Chain A
Amino acid sequence: MKNMLDVQIGRLTLRNPLILASGTAGFGFEMENLFGLNNVGAIVTKTITVEPRIGNPPPRVCETPCGMLNSIGLANPGLITFKNDIIPELKKLDTKIIVSVGGENEDEYCEIVNELRSVSHIAAFELNLSCPNVVRGGINLGKNPKIVQDFIYKLKTITDKPLWSKLSPQTSDILSLSLASQAGGADAVVIANTIPGMAINIWTREPMLGGITGGLSGAAIHPVAVALVYSLRNKLEIPIIGCGGITKPEDAIELILAGADAIQLGSGNFIDSLLPIKTIEFMKEYLNKCEFNSIKEIVGKIKLKT
């Protein structure tokens, strides 16, 4: 009973399937003040790029029906500051650290992974192939299955650490991109990221975001994530990490039933900073109530009428 929540993501064992999504947990220590990170399975850091990025012009967030738009623009201190100043702090955190890697081109991803490959307490890299808020790189790198496959293959030659491929929901063929990630050697796919979106103040006729368009997250996109995960169920050999619009504990179970081996919680943190802990507690409660011994037993166990 004790380990009913532990999951295996490739070679990586997580104490539970709840992962804090990139961009919503900072570098972890900011959240340490609110609740102990020793509760969560892993955290994915804010995306790191080679050069520091100041981010997009404000306003960077706005409310939308059942969700929010963001246009942060991968604001981050850059690789060198991350390595010298932030990594020593990450060592203090009692959870698995996944570093989100971004870049304008393949070489930048390679440079980051190469520079960080020997840092022992980085458990894995998550390749951000799906940020909608940058002009170069991001979503554009993750559009073509052949490019994705070759790119991940190349990164695999640089590092032994697990690589997670975080894909955009804005694709006509999530399966091909997931299979390409798998063929390239990815250890997991993360399904998905925010959906590109836009809002306009009709009275000022100005866009609500400084970056004009942004990424939609929150409850509004949860059914999209469930459908995408479900579409990949039983079609991949590598684990699926479901991500999108979890705003209540039940949403996490829904993604797991659809086929996710683990889940990432993002904007939901903003509306209730205790949501990660509540979700972990609910998972145990759910398993007990439905008489399962392990969270692994319910992965993809949606009941379909025959």
Chain B
Amino acid sequence: MPLEIESIVLENLYAAEETFALRIFAPGIAKQAKPGQFVMLSVTGKFLRRPISIAAVSGGRLTLLVRIVGKGTQELSQVSRNTKLKMLGPLGNPFNIPTGGAFLVGGGIGVAPLIFFSNLLKSLNIEHRPLYGEKCGKYVISRRFLPDGVEIFTEDGSKGTIGTVLSGLPNEVATPVYGCGPGKMIEAMIQQSSKFISTVEVSMEQRMACGYGVCQGCAIETKSGYKLVCKDGPIFPLQEIIIK
């Protein structure tokens, strides 16, 4: 059951260029949270809350990795220790847990929910390969936040292997794939879908108002009609997704 709470910022840490990590005390939410779920976070001076994926859970703390993409996230980047943040969560559906191996594919800040997922799979002794790509090295998130064994890709080769994150996938992928990233990455996954033999789940984004399905504001178009990212997602089967 989602909780409406006043959480407390424990730390606001530099994670990469234009990217910060909030460590937040929110035990009730942390206890329930599953990888793929998100929280709605109030931002000073902004009307709507911002949906932010949960990047890690440890004890009663949540880690949220946030990239500055607009005024809301810019404002959020300024919060300091002991700031109280109104928060609703956890919300949305989690990734389905694979039985055997898996590939986790994170593009840009989309890596956030996959860090949490990788941590869970590791604790369950489920073999998996976390892949993480950025445009260039300065955006690559500090290793302290990333899962062990993560393979890093940059499009300009300034860090890790040169290429997009999808170039890290074999020509034929027999295990489930879990992806989160920008529209272009999801689009490329759709184009390459013939290489995926098993299931592919992707996390989708949309501007959101309520976060729990009542306002119908966060609709995206899918092959079975409009779906709500907050309630029907944010995790969707790749074959359902339409990118325009």
Contacts and interface: CB of A to CB of B under 8 A. Distances in A.
A267 interface: yes
B182 to A, nearest CB: 15
Nearest to A54: B226
A270 B48 contact: yes
A270 B213 contact: no
Given A63-B47, A63-B72, A68-B47, A270 B210 contact: yes
B97 interface: no
Nearest to A274: B4
A1 B218 CA distance: 43
A75 B216 CA distance: 8
B215 A271 contact: no
B209 A75 contact: no
A274 B231 CA distance: 19
A68 B218 CA distance: 13
B226 A64 contact: no
A78 interface: no
Interface string B48-62: 110000000000000
Interface string A258-284: 000000000101111110000000000
Given A61-B207, A273-B88, A68 B4 contact: no
Contacts of B215: 23-24, 26, 61, 70, 72, 270
Contacts of A62: 207
Contacts of A156: none
Contacts of B144: none
B221 interface: yes
Interface stretch (A30-38, A157-165, A233-241, A295-303): A30-38
Contacts of B206: 58-59
A25 B212 CA distance: 10
B209 A54 contact: no
A271 B208 CA distance: 11
Nearest to A35: B4
Contacts of B72: 63
B71 to A, nearest CB: 8
A236 to B, nearest CB: 30
A269 B210 contact: yes
A68 B214 contact: no
A58 B220 contact: yes
Contacts of A271: 42, 47-49, 86
B69 interface: no
Contacts of A64: 47
A57 interface: yes
B225 interface: yes
A201 B207 CA distance: 14
Nearest to B1: A33
Contact of B214 (A26, A66, A247): A26
Interface in B1-49: 1-2, 4, 42, 46-49
Task: Point out which of B42, B206, B209, B231 has the most chain A C-beta atoms below 10 A from its C-beta.
Answer: B209
Contacts of A66: 47
B65 interface: no
A60 B225 contact: no
Contacts of A58: 206, 218-221, 226
Contact of A30 (B49, B86, B209, B212): B212
Contacts of B208: 61
A3 B44 CA distance: 37
A270 B1 contact: no
Interface string A46-63: 100000001101111111
A273 B219 contact: no
B217 interface: yes
A67 interface: yes
Contacts of A246: none
Contact of A55 (B48, B88, B226): B226
Interface of B: 1-2, 4, 42, 46-49, 72, 86, 88, 206-221, 225-226, 231
Given A61-B209, A68-B48, 14 more contacts: A24-B214, A30-B212, A54-B226, A58-B218, A58-B226, A60-B217, A60-B218, A61-B218, A64-B47, A68-B47, A72-B216, A267-B209, A269-B210, A271-B86
Closest 9 pairs between A and B when the two form their complex, measured CB to CB: A26-B214, A61-B217, A61-B209, A270-B210, A270-B209, A60-B217, A58-B219, A273-B4, A75-B216
7 contacts: A55-B226, A58-B220, A61-B215, A62-B207, A64-B47, A70-B217, A270-B211
